[in-house]
């Protein structure tokens, strides 16, 4: 009888221990769920989104001459996102490489600066529904196209740009010498090609075309034969901010459907609708 009574006590104690463990696991799961949702809750409580952008990339994020107001294609798209989410937008101006780090560490909620969607980035970040489609081009000197006929001719040339951009990856792939700037203005990039300090800038078609148009005095052109790497651009968010991403996507899809992003594109890209996919073989 004593052994039986002892056995019952052990069973009861063991059962209570298991229940305690299950309760603890349940509490941990609840806490984890609350933490996951907390980023969006905090944004709503704060009433604003913190957005990283460069402020130096015409025409997607820049200041008009003589003005302190930040504007540009993606700046205005983000402002509209904020309005539809009933959130204020607070811009933080950073260099390209620093933007992604700031999203990853949670220092900012979004980054928006013509950031292309790639497989590697998609493993580490959440990208919104694409807001822009484009392809790569090259800015070179007018007189000799900087000695470049094909991408293979990039070998040994000095290519200027952000170190972690997909365009610099292309330059490195073809053997170009990398020249990196710390959030420099378009004029600095373009002038350096014109005077021969660098040879080429690989970047997005829309940005390159309008950048050249803004500085007609410089002896540079878009290379007539180089079209490569069709691209998609989206807003970048922390990988854990699922709820934020869902809400951003919801309003972006509304803006695409009602033509708002196409209208903003036309304003900044000389009438072009960058929301439409492009065929570089045409």
97, part of any domain: yes
In a domain, 120, yes or no: yes
Provide the pLDDT for residue 186: 84
Decide if 75 is inside a domain.
Answer: yes
Cβ burial, residue 186 (10 Å; 0-12/13-18/19+) = buried
Q: Are residues 119 and 251 in the same domain?
A: yes
Residue-level pLDDT at 10: 44
Q: What pLDDT sits at residue 38? A: 64
- Across the chain, which has 282 residues, the per-10-residue mean pLDDT values are 46 45 50 58 95 94 90 98 98 93 96 95 97 97 97 98 90 97 86 97 94 94 95 96 97 98 97 91 70
What pLDDT score does 270 carry? 92
How far apart (Å, rounded) are the C-alpha atoms in residues 53 and 164? 15
The burial of 248, by beta-carbon neighbours within 10 Å (0-12 exposed, 13-18 middle, 19 or more buried), is given as buried
Same domain, 208 and 263: no
Range of the domain at 164: 133-230
The encoded tokens of residue 34 equal 């609350």
| 161 & 22 share domain | no
- 83 and 22 inside one domain: no
Within a domain: residue 23? yes
pLDDT of residue 12: 44
Give the DSSP H/E element, type plus range, for residue 229: strand 228-233
Statement to judge: residues 92 and 150 lie in one domain: no
114 and 153 together in one domain: no
Quick one: 181 and 139 in the same domain?
A: yes
Q: Is the peptide bond before 59 cis (omega within 30 degrees of 0)?
A: yes
Residue 211 falls inside a structural domain: yes
Any domain includes 281: no
Question: Is the same domain home to 18 and 139?
Answer: no
Per-residue pLDDT, 6: 43
Taking the model in full, what pTM does it have?
Answer: 0.76
- Structure-block tokens of residue 204: 């997005």
Same structural domain for residues 218 and 152? Answer: yes
Q: How far is 107 from 30, CA to CA, in rounded Å?
A: 25
Residue 27 has a pLDDT of 53
Q: What is the CATH number of the domain that holds 65?
A: 3.40.190.10
Q: Do 163 and 207 fall into the same domain?
A: yes
What are residue 165's phi and psi, to 5 degrees? -75, 155
Within-domain flag for 278: no
Q: Which residue has the tokens 């021969």?
A: 196
Helices within the chain (DSSP H only): 2-46, 73-84, 96-105, 119-124, 166-173, 186-194, 205-214, 242-257, 260-268
Residue 95 placed within a domain: yes
Question: How much is the pLDDT for 252?
Answer: 98
Considering the domain architecture, whether residues 63 and 144 belong to the same structural domain is answered as no
Q: 134 by DSSP, 3-state: which?
A: strand
CB 207 within 8 A of CB 121: no
- Please give the sequence-ordered ranges of beta strands (E in DSSP) within 28-81, or none if there are none: 48-53, 62-63, 70-71
Asked if residue 52 and residue 122 are part of one domain, the reply reads yes
Number of domains in the chain: 3
């Amino acid at each position: 009888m004593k052994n039986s009574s002892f056995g019952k006590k052990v069973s009861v104690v063991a059962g209570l221990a298991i229940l305690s463990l299950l309760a603890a696991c349940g509490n941990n799961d609840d806490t984890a769920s609350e933490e996951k949702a907390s980023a969006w809750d905090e944004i709503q409580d704060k009433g604003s989104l913190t957005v990283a952008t460069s402020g130096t990339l015409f025409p997607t994020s820049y200041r008009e001459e003589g003005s302190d107001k930040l504007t540009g294609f993606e700046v205005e798209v983000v402002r509209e996102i904020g309005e539809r989410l009933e959130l204020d937008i607070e811009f933080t101006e950073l260099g390209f490489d620093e933007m992604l780090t700031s999203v990853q560490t949670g220092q900012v909620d979004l980054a928006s600066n013509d950031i292309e969607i790639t497989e590697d980035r998609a493993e580490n970040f959440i990208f919104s529904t694409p807001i822009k489609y484009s392809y790569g081009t090259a800015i070179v000197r007018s007189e000799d196209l900087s000695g470049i006929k094909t991408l293979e001719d990039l070998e040994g040339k000095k290519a200027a740009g952000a170190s972690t951009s997909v365009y610099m990856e292309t330059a490195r792939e073809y053997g170009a010498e990398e020249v990196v700037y710390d959030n420099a203005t378009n004029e600095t990039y373009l002038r350096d090609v014109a005077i021969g300090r660098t040879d080429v800038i690989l970047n997005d078609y829309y940005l390159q075309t309008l950048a050249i148009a803004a500085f007609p005095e410089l002896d540079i052109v878009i290379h007539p034969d180089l079209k490569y790497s069709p691209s998609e651009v989206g807003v970048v968010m922390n990988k854990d901010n699922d709820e934020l991403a869902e809400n951003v996507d919801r309003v972006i899809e509304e803006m695409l459907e009602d033509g708002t992003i196409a209208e903003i594109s036309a304003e900044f890209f000389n009438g072009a609708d960058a929301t439409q996919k492009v065929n570089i073989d045409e």
